[in-house]
Structure 1
Amino acid sequence: MKINKFFIVTALFFMSLIVFTGFAKAEEINNTSKEKDVEKIRTYLESNVSNMSTKFSTLEKDAKLEDIERIIENYYKENPAPKEMNDDNNISLEDVFPELTKKHEKAYLKSKGILNKFIEDQNESSDLGEVFTYEYENSSKVDVYLGKTGEISITEFKTVKEAPLVQPFAEKQTRIQRTTGISYNATGSKCFTLWAESGFKYDGKKVSPINRDADWNRHPAGSTINLLPQVMPKTRDVVLGKYTYKEVYARLKYESGWGIRWASVTMKSGTVESLVGCTVDGSIYGSAKRI
């Protein structure tokens, strides 16, 4: 029995056309479904930003870190993230806010990964988010950054213990200060807390740390983030001209599925640092940054 070649070629063509059409329709359905999920996530995040802005604005100006964290925790208990943010690994913040993501990347380069610097810039421009500052006793301060994409970053510069009232004439001692960095992802989960603290002795020519300490905490988002302490704590020299300053710092490495936005850029892995430093003249400072 002879087989018509034209018939075979025609049949194969139509079979291929049917398969291709099926794939195209499936892809179209998937794209439509993803667009709906992205829109749902965007609506959720924009609503959160608006609501959290109102809550932070109505807090007392001398609110403390625990007051701020309580506000965040209670809000997200009542307004949990939609399942699309937890179940669909193909959707990221870049998909939800593509234009803002590009602006964030530029801001990250400008801040060089230093959260304090980024917060300072946003406090002036507010083009990527809002900054709320709370100050309380003993020169302690909390800065809260609420990004338009839903993430929250917090830095606290806190006096743990005041300097001694009576000090030797030649050598003086600063207060003991703690710098804390805290990251919340866009789902409202607190990802980590990292802090370093120290006091310093100084005499105008040299400076040295005392009472060094540091710690970190994993939070309920631990199921989506791996944390590994790198340094707890350590001292380093910072040379500026003919002077050598001292810094006490702590580092933490993380890995996250959804991604953490720290000092503006979204990262699924990286190392963050909190530090306290002091000049030879006793000026004490602190910051949090990405390494």
Structure 2
Amino acid sequence: MFRRIGYMLLFVLMILGTFSGNVLAESSESKEYDIRKVKNYIESSVDYLKEQFGKLDKMSNLADIESIIEGYYNENPPPEAMLKGNLKIEDVLPELTEANEKYHQMTKGDLNEFLEIQKKTEELGKVFLYKNDNSKIEVYLGNTGEIAIMEFRTIKEAPIQPLYAQRETAIERTTGIAYNAVGSKMFTLWSEGGFKYNGSNVVSQNIDGDFQRHFWGSTLNLIPETMPKTRAISIEGYKYVEIYSRLRYEAGIGIRWASITLKSGTIETIVGCGVNGSVYGQLKRVS
């Protein structure tokens, strides 16, 4: 009797093993199918947006750029596989995500430096530049589908300068905007301020800054760390003062499609000024 039970158990185990093998094979085939579908979607989206950004007038503003992004993705929703959360961008475009990490380690998270490299090589994506009377906008369209926008805009022109040494800059704002590869705006972070300078010293004034969580950013845990703050720095003997806003984010369902550059970490938007009144903007990943 025990021998008969043993044979029955062996038979059942063989059936279960065959069933399990079939399920694994089907699961593997399904994943490969999803990967191909998602890869085609990302590549098609990137090709289309490259074409449209290239056609935009070089004096376009932020609203023009965002209209293209939102219009395209409203008409071309992502495949289900991108929304289920079963795949990572590393599964779909492994070589690109490895290259992204290498570049961001090399540039220590400084998006400005990263953009300068990509302008020359276009290895990981393409940078589009737009300038109008009061703003400069750089749009980075990554080959992994993410979009990072940095706008440096004049909020208020500099006052008429006095004859004595102390002078004032315009009030400037640096804004960073993150989109993921399904065209969803995740968050906006900005810093704003002006400066007084005299050739040997510089101080900040009119300090402001904040962040905004957009609808799809609800998949993120956003933690404002500094909103805003001033710091003094010295680079090779030159003095600068920076106004910065710092935001910590934790990866959720959507942000995983925003490439290695926008996984869990901390970013800053910066408005800075040297002692000679030269004002600059930066978007930087701190960690």
Q: For the superposition of Structure 1 and Structure 2, which TM-score range results when normalised by the shorter chain?
A: over 0.9
Residue 199 of structure 1: CA displacement? Answer: 0.7
Q: Percent identity?
A: 48
1:104 aligns with 2:89: no
Residue 17 of structure 1: CA displacement? Answer: 2.3
TM-score normalised by the chain length of structure 2: 0.93
Within-5 A mapping of 1:178-257: 178-255=173-250, 256-257=252-253
Residue 108 of structure 1: CA displacement? Answer: 1.2
Please, what is the CA RMSD of the aligned residues?
Answer: 1.8
Residue 12 of structure 1: CA displacement? Answer: 3.7
Distance 1:235 1:55 in 2: 38
Inter-CA distance 267–59: structure 2 relative to 1 (3 Å threshold): closer
Inter-CA distance 71–240: structure 2 relative to 1 (3 Å threshold): same
The residue that corresponds to 2:81 in the other structure is: 84
Residue 261 of structure 1: CA displacement? Answer: 6.8
Within-5 A mapping of 1:256-267: 256-259=252-255, 265-267=260-262
Residue 83 of structure 1: CA displacement? Answer: 1.9
SS at match of 1:257: coil
Give the letter aligned to residue 175 of structure 2.
T
The residue that corresponds to 2:281 in the other structure is: 286
Distance 1:4 1:232 in 2: 74
Residue 243 of structure 1: CA displacement? Answer: 4.4
TM-score normalised by the chain length of structure 1: 0.92
Give the letter aligned to residue 98 of structure 1.
P
Within-5 A mapping of 1:144-163: 144-163=139-158
SS at match of 2:254: strand
Q: How many residues align?
A: 285
Residue 240 of structure 1: CA displacement? Answer: 2.8
Q: What per-residue deviation string (whole Å, max 9, x for no partner) do you get for residues 181-209 of structure 1?
A: 11100110011111101110011111100
Give the letter aligned to residue 204 of structure 2.
P
SS at match of 1:39: helix
Structure 1: which 5+ runs fail to align? none
Picking from 131, 135, 138, the partner of 1:135 is 131
Distance 2:257 2:182 in 1: 12
Picking from 102, 125, 129, the partner of 2:121 is 125
Which is worse superposed, 166-175 or 60-69?
Answer: 166-175
Distance 1:267 1:61 in 2: 27
Inter-CA distance 210–266: structure 2 relative to 1 (3 Å threshold): closer
Q: What per-residue deviation string (whole Å, max 9, x for no partner) do you get for residues 56-109 of structure 1?
A: 00000011111111111111111111222112x220111111111111111111
Residue 239 of structure 1: CA displacement? Answer: 2.1
Within-5 A mapping of 1:50-65: 50-65=47-62
Give the letter aligned to residue 23 of structure 1.
S
